[in-house]
Amino acid sequence: MTLDPSTVDDLFAAELAKERSPGLVYAVVRDGEILHSRGIGSIGTGEQTLPTADSVHRIASMTKSFTASAVLLLRDRGALRLDDPVAAYVPEVDLPDLTIRHLLTMSGGLLTDDPWGDRNEPQTYAELGEFLSGGFTVGAVPGTRFEYSNLGYALLGRAIDALTGGEGGYRRFVLDELTGPLAMTATRYDVRDVGPALVVGHHRRGEDWAVEPAVLPGTFSAMGGLHSSLTDLARWVGGFTDAFRRPDLMHPLSSASRREMQQLQRLIGVSGALSVDVPVGGAALAASAAGYGFGLFVEHHSDHGDVVQHSGGYPGYGSHMRWHPETGLGVIALANGTYAAPVDVCRDALRALVAGERTAAASPTASREVVEAVSAKLRTSGDPFNDDLFTFNVELDVPEAERLEQLSAARALVGAPSGPAEEPYAEGLGQASWSVPAERGRYDVEIKVAPTPEPAVQSLKLTAVPDPPEALASVAARAVSGQAPTGGAGGTFGRALAAAQALGGPARIAGVLAGDGESTATFVVRAGTMWWRLEVTRADPAPALALTACPTAEHARLAHRFSR
């Protein structure tokens, strides 16, 4: 771990200061192991004892990942299919179009039911059956939209009951088939089985904390009934990161099914956010897309990639777990205050951890060997792209005469290659892009590798990027430094530059993106963590300037190429 743990400690200290819970315990994990953990605050009223990694809290809706795992384990054993109607297992449900998959993905059309669902935890098997037989409100056609539902996961628990021996079968199945084999010895549904490691839940009563009465397990346990510790949850989270990073390790649920749980199954929405207090100074603009997988929320962030997470909120407790599959890093936190799920602090801590480690790896099929071989051919004479390194379609798509003409024009613009290929950036599973320095600029290369037994290039794009004329480079440098652009730039440029500097701090030229070597040049401008595109065109009586913000989808590639 390259990040000083004190950064994480500071974030959680600030969270405790908000007084949303008497205490907090949190951990930084990687691949099932705790790298750093700490308890702060206290375990309850009048108690100054700190919670530890072995302290047990109710984890509330984080339980849903266990329920979903149980469903997929039964699916893998052939006991059910995800597209089976729920009524096949829970006959009291009179909704023939409602399927197991709909419930798993929060798309059954059921209403969001916090906090009603939490208070139904101790409901008996017979009471739930009576409730279902009386019918319940449905707000949308199943399978048409996301809507978080505790009742939906209670129905999944009842379906598992039906497949595993009736009342109580769901809880036994999870403990016997999932947590037991993973040696998660502290994880229990019944609070009476936890023992002295239990941290009692609390709620606010004016200025004081009051004990929240314990709740016994019932038919809503499948949506939020588990109690667990950081030690156990580190193993649980590790199982999900192992599905990508160490898929051959033993686990009750197959690595394929664990990966399936962490894929976006139902879109929730997209959003953008501007942070003005970031370690690099200035501001950070990030966009994200969020959805639900199977028992887990799935997110993609423009600044640090894919994240999987789930929170828990319950009378007396709050919890959160999130992890970054690419690096195996995760953050887990448990609180003993009502609905005090430490979501924001876990998010910020993981983002900081990942920022210290994440790199853009080369595509596994567009290997460094292929990159070097393609780059070497730029130095040869004639048509370098006509041997076994390239698939047959290359000649059909771009005939030899046309390829030679394009290559000749590129060489005339930037000259011969003058250095080794830079580190490639993975554009996809079989796609990569990189640059090769040249006498008067550089070559930008993009390839796609074909699904042939041996890696072969099916598509190649070669772009010559000349060094910009000194006059245009000088105009660009003066413009972003805040000096008056030569001849005036018009109001649009001025407003864009003001926005870049206000949001991201001082702007600077990071490199050149494109140009013709004479009258036009496009520069990359960085302001804080934000990226902009500056086009400079020689014109009479004064150069024309245009500054536009780069889409967040381009930020990772730009950072890879221009942050070195």
Q: What is the pLDDT of residue 283?
A: 62
Q: CA 63, CA 399: separation in Å to the nearest integer?
A: 59
| 323-327, 364-368, 421-425, 509-513: segment of lowest average pLDDT | 364-368
Q: What percent of the chain has pLDDT over 70?
A: 93
- Closest listed residue to residue 379, CA positions, set 328, 349, 427, 416: 416
- pLDDT(2) > 60: no
pLDDT at residue 487 in the model: 43
pLDDT for res 488: 46
Sequence-ordered alpha helix ranges (H) in 415-524: 470-480, 490-504
DSSP 8-class letter at 175 = I
Q: What percent of the chain has a predicted confidence (pLDDT) above 90?
A: 73
Q: What is the DSSP letter of 548?
A: E
Once rounded to an integer, what is the mean pLDDT over residues 345-368?
76
2-6, 163-167, 213-217, 227-231: the lowest-pLDDT one: 2-6
pLDDT band at 489, cuts 50/70/90?
very low
The domain locations on the chain are: 5-190+220-355, 368-464, 470-562
Class of domain 5-190+220-355: alpha beta
First to last CA, the chain: 22
The continuous run of DSSP H or E covering 513 comes out as strand 507-515
Burial 159-188 (b: 16+ CB within 10 A, else e): bbbbbbeeeebbbebbbebbbeebebebbb
pLDDT of 505 higher than 80: no
Q: How confident is the model at residue 379 (pLDDT cuts 50, 70, 90)?
A: confident
Q: Quick one: DSSP state of residue 439? A: T
Kindly report, residue by residue over 103-160, the tens digit of the pLDDT: 999 999 999 999 999 999 999 999 999 999 999 999 999 999 999 999 999 999 999 9
Residues 471-479 have a mean pLDDT of 93
List the single range of 44-48, 296-300, 440-444, 528-532 with lowest mean pLDDT: 44-48
pLDDT tens, residue by residue, 175-190: 999 999 999 999 999 9
Give one DSSP letter per residue of 27-43, joined into a string.
EEEETTEEEEEEEEE-S
Query: Across the strands, what pairs with 299?
Result: 290, 307
pLDDT one-digit tens code per residue, 206-240 = 989 999 999 999 999 999 999 999 999 999 999 99
Q: Find residue 150's DSSP bridge partners.
A: none
Distance CA 523, CA 134 (A): 66
- CA–CA dist 385, 389 (Å, integer): 8
State the average pLDDT over residues 333-359: 90
3-state secondary structure 491-509: HHHHHHHHHHHHHHCCEEE
> Would you give the distance in Å from CA 104 to the centre of its chain?
20
Specify the pLDDT at position 378. 86
Distance from C-alpha of 404 to C-alpha of 377, rounded to nearest angstrom: 13
Residue 528 CA to residue 373 CA, distance in Å, equals: 36
Query: Same topology for domains 5-190+220-355 and 368-464, yes or no?
Result: no
CA distances from 200 to 118, 149, 311, 344, 517 (A): 17, 26, 19, 23, 70
Number of neighbours of residue 289 by Cβ within 10 angstroms = 15
Which residue in 305, 349, 259, 290 sits closest to 3, CA to CA? Answer: 349
Across 2-28, average pLDDT = 92
Q: Give the pLDDT of residue 502.
A: 80
Hey, what CATH topology would domain 368-464 get? Nuclear Transport Factor 2; Chain: A, (3.10.450)
* pLDDT higher than threshold 50 for residue 68: yes
Q: What is the number of alpha carbons within 13 Å of residue 355 lying toward its C-beta?
A: 17
H/E stretch holding 74 reads helix 64-76
Task: Indicate the Cα dihedral angle 16, 204, 43, 349, nearest 10°.
Answer: -30
What does pLDDT average to over the chain?
91
Question: What residues have CB less than 8 Å from 448, skipping those under 6 apart?
Answer: 366, 428, 430, 431, 457, 458, 459
Lookup result for tokens 């990040």: 3
Weakest-pLDDT range from 198-202, 282-286, 396-400, 503-507: 282-286
Structure confidence at residue 277 (pLDDT)? 56
Q: Bridge-partner residues for 441, per DSSP?
A: 438, 466
Candidate from 59-68, 87-96, 231-240, 550-559 with smallest mean pLDDT: 550-559
Q: Looking at residue 5, what is its pLDDT?
A: 86
| pLDDT exceeds cutoff 90 at 286 | no
Residues 6+ apart with CB under 8 A from 412: none
Which amino acid makes up residue 285? L
d(CA 515, CA 521): 4
- pLDDT tens digits, one per residue of 506-536: 889 999 999 999 999 999 999 887 899 999 9
**Higher model confidence: residue 304 or residue 242?**
242
